Amino acid sequence: MPSLDDFELRIMTREEQLRPCADRPVDITKPGWDVRLRQRQHPLDEAGIRRDAETLLGELINHYCTNGEHTREAIRKLFKEYQAFAWAVSLSFDPKTEESFRQHLLLFSMKDQGTDSRDALLLLQHLCGRAVAAGVNTGPILKEIADLSSDKNKYGMGSTKDMLLKASRK
């Protein structure tokens, strides 16, 4: 099993590859900017690292949910430090089963609200909506992942743990 140092080295490499995509400016003053943005390749494809990054993400998710709080906190710290990587990595499947919903929530927990809790809340609502529409019983899974999540109120809108617990009661 890879160590946290091994994970960090691998993430650092992906960060360097993704940084040009993440730092590319978007001029929202020009008409059609949103269309052009949607037409861009996914950053993982543009950097030519999709398979590598998805493998790494799968390993990180497994490591996150099978180890203790110290490890989970270290992984959250990696996602905070390597923002281009955190911005670009995603799961390529919808949360339409209990396991796929769990995977999405684990990634949500690892990203720990990213740089904006409002975006995190919108993402959580979207994930829950998709899962509920597919017939997934979301409450128990939300509670399970809340137990693995940070209880730090980073931006004044509640912790990731609080967000997940609140969503479990809906």
Task: State the DSSP string of 107-167.
Answer: HHHHHTTTT-HHHHHHHHHHHHHHHHHTT--HHHHHHHHHTTS----SSSS--HHHHHHHH
Report how far apart, in Å, the C-alpha atoms of 116 and of each of 98, 128, 158 are.
Answer: 26, 19, 12
Over residues 37-49, mean pLDDT: 90
pLDDT (tens digit per residue) in 71-107:
999 999 999 999 999 999 999 999 999 999 999 999 9
**SS3 of residue 84 by DSSP:** helix
pLDDT (tens digit per residue) in 108-162:
999 999 999 999 999 999 999 999 999 999 999 999 999 999 999 999 999 999 9
Judged by average pLDDT, the poorest of 29-43, 61-75, 101-115 is 29-43
Residue 41 is which amino acid? Answer: Q
| Dihedrals phi, psi of 118, to nearest 5 degrees | -65, -45
**SS3 of residue 106 by DSSP:** helix
* The pLDDT of residue 39: 80
How far apart CA 112 and CA 159 sit, in angstroms, is 8
More confident position, 21 or 39: 21
